[in-house]
């Protein structure tokens, strides 16, 4: 691998890493919001999202004796979108069972 090709590969990895890190938080007015916040803190700082979507799925486990799958509960995934005006990309917050799991720029 040539030196130039190695540099290009490293630059690409760096860009991916910086993009991933940048998407872990965003600004709501004077606040910086991250996935470490509770849902209450998120809505206190940012208000209600522009849109919300929610899905609920069964959690299945295999019975050791019979080998059959049985329902062991439910998990709820919510997708909240925050529009931040014309100069900033909307942010999408994914919440699973009441906890923020990820924050991404909407593409």
- Domain borders along the chain are 3-105
Going by pLDDT thresholds of 50, 70 and 90, the confidence category of residue 23 is: low
CB atoms within 10 A of CB 82: 21
CA dist., res. 54 & res. 76, Å (int): 7
User: pTM higher than 0.75, yes or no?
Assistant: no
CA dist., res. 68 & res. 90, Å (int): 43
CA dist., res. 8 & res. 14, Å (int): 10
**pLDDT tens by residue, 26-65:** 888 889 999 999 999 999 999 999 999 999 999 999 999 9
The pLDDT score that the predictor gives to residue 106 is 85
Averaged pLDDT for residues 78-99: 92
Return phi, psi of residue 14, to 5°: -60, -45
Going by pLDDT thresholds of 50, 70 and 90, the confidence category of residue 2 is: low
């Amino acid at each position: 691998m040539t030196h130039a090709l190695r540099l290009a590969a490293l630059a690409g990895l760096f860009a991916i890493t910086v993009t991933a890190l940048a998407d872990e938080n965003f600004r709501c007015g004077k606040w910086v919001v991250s996935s470490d916040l509770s849902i209450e803190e998120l809505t206190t700082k940012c208000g209600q999202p522009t849109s919300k979507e929610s899905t609920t799925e069964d959690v299945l486990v295999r019975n050791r004796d019979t080998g059959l799958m049985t329902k062991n509960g439910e998990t709820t995934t919510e997708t909240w979108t925050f529009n931040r005006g014309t100069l900033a990309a909307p942010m999408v917050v994914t919440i699973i069972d009441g906890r923020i799991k990820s924050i991404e720029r909407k593409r």
